[in-house]
Chain A
Amino acid sequence: MFWKSKKLKKRIETDKGMSYGKIVFKRFRRDSLTRWSLRLFYLLVFVGLFSDFIANEKPIYCKVDGKTHYPIVEDYLVNLGLLDPMNTLGRPNWRTLEHQGLVLPIIPYSAHKPDQKNMGFSSPFGKQNIESSRYRHWLGTDRIGRDLAAGLVAGTRIALAVGIIAMGIASLIGIVLGLLAGYFGDNQVRISLLRVVLILIGLCIGLFWGFISRSYALKEGALGIQILISLGILLLCVLGFFGLSRLMENMIPGMKKVYLPFDLIIMRMVEIVDAMPAILLILAATSIIRNPSIYNVMIIIGLVSWTTIARFVRAEVIKVREQDYIQAAKALAYSDFRIITRHILPNSIGPVLIVIAFGMAGAILAEATISFLGIGLDDEDITWGYLLNQARGQASAWWLAIFPGIAIFITVTLFNLLGEGLTKALNPKLDT
């Protein structure tokens, strides 16, 4: 035991002057497996961000008729409306384009564009109908000649987007509800019955005026703005009735008061969502989607998977709530909002990161499963699950079974390892 305490002493000394976040990060990086998964994670983010420059049939740079073009960058600019499409090269056949200089991406194919000369599952090792080894399909092609390597690169972006969008939605809902349930509990907020009733009425009227009466505008108008207007109406109605209730309370003193059971209601919601098997709920919810797109699937996954986060945040907040510094903050008459955002949230967010990391792995796996089943996909969406699914139809195309599977496996493992690493870093007691 002696040598251990010496080591500990040394560690404490080196940790001196570092912020808590830095200490955790240092501890996080101590494990070599975690370190490697962090590096791999950076790589994946890089591939995801620059996937258009890594796999594209368009050149990164080319010189045509004495003019320099950057077709991929130009594409972005045209989409953003910053560049007139007339100034670009348009859509020539990039393979036969006459040029004075050309820099192609590493993988000179676009994920969803078939290479007609290599249709019908060209093997990575087999003979391919190509001009030079520069155009080789290093990981083979699928039935209609789409390059697998390009597909994997495009899939990276989607997998990361799943993680970010789905977990973004899930953590937003989960953290807010978890904070409310944990902080207010069942017997913290006590308001008059009248106010409860009036706010409920305000909510109903707000929903009615905001969303039912304006159904036409919501369907036909520009969606974002109309939803904002509707939400504004909802907020106004609730606030209006809130004000009304204050006014009436002042006039009629001694109203009966009730506790608001935040915890009860929110935990019941968690229970209800948890009772529905996630994969079935996601599959059923895809039926609502009118125009299939992988992004809708991500949103659904996010809306379904907030419960774990909410549970965790709640548990953490209940722990933190009893600390002395929260009592001190209360004694200083800080508002609940300030206490929650400045004191509770920063002190309970650490362990939540663990759940989010594992949640990312879960979300990516869920999306891969759904696109593997071929549900809710647009024709242009190339995802790892979709690529893997193609192997089922053709047993000889082993590359379609192995490479996308490895990609999913590595990514899922990566996030699981990051979660594990975070667990260790945040609970120093665990490593002995």
Chain B
Amino acid sequence: MLQYIIKRLLLSIFTLWVISLIAFGISKLSAGDPVDIILNKGNEEGSLQDRIYLISYKATAQKFGLDKPTFYFSISPKAYPDTLYRIYPQNKRVTLRRWVAQYGNWPNVSTFIQNCEDLENNIQKVSRLHRSDSLIQLRNTYSLLKTRYKKDDTDVLVSKVVRQIKNDSLLKANFFDQGQKINTSYQSIIKNKDKKGLYLPSFNWYGFDNQYHNWLKSMWSGELGISYNEQRPVSKKLNEAIWITIQMNLMAISLAFIIAIPIGIHSARKRGKSFDKYTNLLLFFLYSIPTFWIATMALIFLTTAEYGMDFFPSMGLGNVSRNASGWEQFTTRIEHLILPVLCIAVGSVAFIARQVRGSMQEVLQQDYIRTARAKGLSEGRVIWRHAFRNALFPLITLVANIIPALITGSIVIERIFNIPGMGFVTIEAIFKRDWPVVYAVLMIGAILTVLGILLTDILYALADPRIKFKK
């Protein structure tokens, strides 16, 4: 048994490790430059030349560890330089990648980009003295040149740069050489197109100071990563939310069990009678009702004065002054939680009752129930002591569902009723593109699910001595 538990634990750790890879992988694939999200900046093209932007970009990237390599190692074509990850901002990195993917000769590409940047720096020095339309045009052209990579575009843009420098006397005097340099380096990229490097893999080892390792460390330490928007550990952000959610779901689940078990048992006893038929049908429909629909209906009809049925307070958890008595705080909280809890419970009631009915039906057909009845035991004793305890056994599987449901069961409901729980925070984070929060919640959900499954297996083993686990 102990061996079995240890084996299961090791397997769970493996599962969680793979999930962490998936979560991290998705977070790296997610749209938008994380640093830009932190800086609250869009992807406008002009932002590239902004020096202040670059400085703050670098500082932010360093602060959040986003300037580090993504993973322990990388396998990339030989054509790519192994220090590509050091180039910032992300836009530039992506453009460079595309240049290399297209032509395969990094040295030439890097000279070309260097020449473009030199021109940019020099022009910025001159621009204070000289303002002309051609200068502005030139600036637009080369800033475009840095973000474009398709051959049709770049051909036109390079020739445009050269022409624009030629056409203006002052520009010609100062930058003629540089214009030529850009042109020659561009031509040499195209001439020395070398795609061999793209098909030779190269393996780069980056060591342990990488983004994934740091993310995993912060998961392990309970910090759960750092929120992009609030720039503090995600755990602090989730700290309050998680208790509200657990509280709410615990209430809902207990309520669901209290309602569902008697219904299930009774309808199992009346198998085939009209009570069973109708409750079964009702439960079936109840099971199919989308929770968010009930919640929306409740919100509209029962919390607003619009239809004269303003029975419940509407949104959130209500405001209680700090010096209010404990009782007052409690009642306000309960008042605000009634509707959400009921809405969560509705779906679960149907599910649990159907399960109870199924397993009760099976147990009631067993011989030992007949024996118990034949012994002359009272009906209550037969049902509760003999039948129900055995019927509980298949319900152990429900434990695996309940534990993660404590956190994830109320995502939509929280959103509808504006309750600042986990689901509310998660969905806010999705809208604000605050991905670390989303992946932290995903990881928490996964950990709880794995725990739930583990617990189920162990409970099964404890509850039924016949189950023998192989090593």
Chain A positions near chain B (C-beta within 8 angstroms): 205, 208-209, 212-213, 215-216, 219-220, 268, 271-272, 274-277, 279-281, 283-290, 361, 365, 368-369, 372-373, 375, 385, 388-389, 391-392, 395-396, 398, 401-402, 405, 408-409, 412-413, 416-417, 420
Contacts and interface: CB of A to CB of B under 8 A. Distances in A.
B262 to A, nearest CB: 24
Contact of A413 (B77, B102, B288, B297): B288
Given A275-B449, A276-B19, A408 B98 contact: no
A412 B290 contact: yes
B411 A272 contact: no
B75 A409 contact: no
B438 interface: yes
A412 B292 CA distance: 13
A279 B77 contact: no
B293 A408 contact: yes
B412 A284 contact: no
25 contacts: A205-B201, A212-B75, A213-B198, A272-B19, A275-B19, A275-B449, A275-B450, A277-B404, A277-B446, A280-B408, A284-B442, A286-B430, A287-B26, A287-B30, A287-B438, A289-B31, A290-B31, A373-B412, A392-B416, A405-B297, A408-B290, A409-B288, A409-B289, A409-B293, A412-B288
Contacts of A409: 288-290, 293
A373 B291 CA distance: 13
B289 A369 contact: no
A213 B77 contact: yes
A219 B290 CA distance: 39
Given A212-B77, A219-B98, A274 B307 contact: no
Given A272-B19, A275-B450, A276-B449, A395 B408 contact: no
Given A219-B98, A395-B304, A420-B284, A281 B292 contact: no
A284 B26 contact: yes
Nearest to A396: B306
Contacts of B97: 215
Interface in B275-319: 284-285, 287-290, 292-293, 296-297, 299-301, 304, 306-307
Question: Secondary structure at chain B's binding surface: helix, strand, loop or mixed?
Answer: helix
B426 to A, nearest CB: 7
A291 to B, nearest CB: 9
Contacts of A391: 296, 300
Contacts of A277: 404, 407-408, 442, 445-446, 449
B306 A361 contact: no
A283 B426 contact: yes
A98 B289 CA distance: 47
Given A272-B22, A287-B430, A288-B31, 17 more contacts: A208-B75, A212-B76, A271-B453, A276-B446, A280-B426, A280-B445, A283-B411, A283-B426, A285-B26, A287-B438, A368-B290, A372-B412, A373-B415, A375-B431, A401-B301, A408-B290, A412-B290
B412 A369 contact: yes
Nearest to A404: B293
A215 B439 CA distance: 27
Interface string B43-86: 00000000000000000000000000000000111000000000
A395 B22 CA distance: 41
Q: List 4 tightest A-B contacts by C-beta distance, closest first.
A: A216-B101, A287-B30, A405-B293, A277-B445
A315 to B, nearest CB: 16
Contacts of A369: 290, 292, 412
Contacts of B438: 280, 283-284, 287
B297 A402 contact: yes
A312 to B, nearest CB: 16
B419 interface: no
B445 A276 contact: yes
Contacts of A209: 199
Contacts of B201: 205, 208
Nearest to B289: A409
B192 interface: no
B15 A275 contact: yes
A220 B152 CA distance: 13
A144 B31 CA distance: 30
Interface of B: 14-16, 18-19, 22-23, 26-27, 29-31, 75-77, 97-98, 101-102, 150, 198-199, 201, 284-285, 287-290, 292-293, 296-297, 299-301, 304, 306-307, 404, 407-408, 411-412, 415-416, 426-427, 430-431, 433, 435, 438-439, 441-442, 445-446, 449-450, 453
A408 to B, nearest CB: 5
B15 A272 contact: yes
B138 to A, nearest CB: 27
B300 A375 contact: no
Contact of A361 (B26, B288, B297, B407): B288
B94 to A, nearest CB: 10
A288 B102 contact: no
Contact of A392 (B296, B306, B433): B296
Given A220-B150, A275-B449, A369-B412, A388 B288 contact: no
Nearest to A33: B281
A274 B19 CA distance: 10
Give the one of A285, A395, A417 with max B CB within 10 A: A395
A405 B31 CA distance: 32
A409 B291 CA distance: 10
Contacts of B450: 275
Nearest to B443: A276
Nearest to A287: B30
A286 B29 CA distance: 11
A372 B290 CA distance: 11
Nearest to A375: B430
Nearest to B198: A213
Nearest to A274: B449
Contacts of A205: 201
Contacts of A388: 292-293, 296
Contacts of B199: 209, 213
Nearest to B445: A277
A205 B199 CA distance: 9
Contacts of A395: 299-300, 304, 306
Contacts of A274: 449
Contacts of B446: 275-277
B58 to A, nearest CB: 25
Contacts of B30: 287-288
Nearest to A409: B289
Contacts of B297: 401-402, 405
A365 B291 CA distance: 10
A285 to B, nearest CB: 6
A216 B102 contact: yes
A354 to B, nearest CB: 15
Given A276-B446, A277-B404, A369-B412, A284 B18 contact: no
Contact of B427 (A212, A290, A373, A420): A373
A413 to B, nearest CB: 4
B219 to A, nearest CB: 15
B457 to A, nearest CB: 12
Contacts of A213: 77, 198-199
B103 to A, nearest CB: 9
Contacts of A361: 288
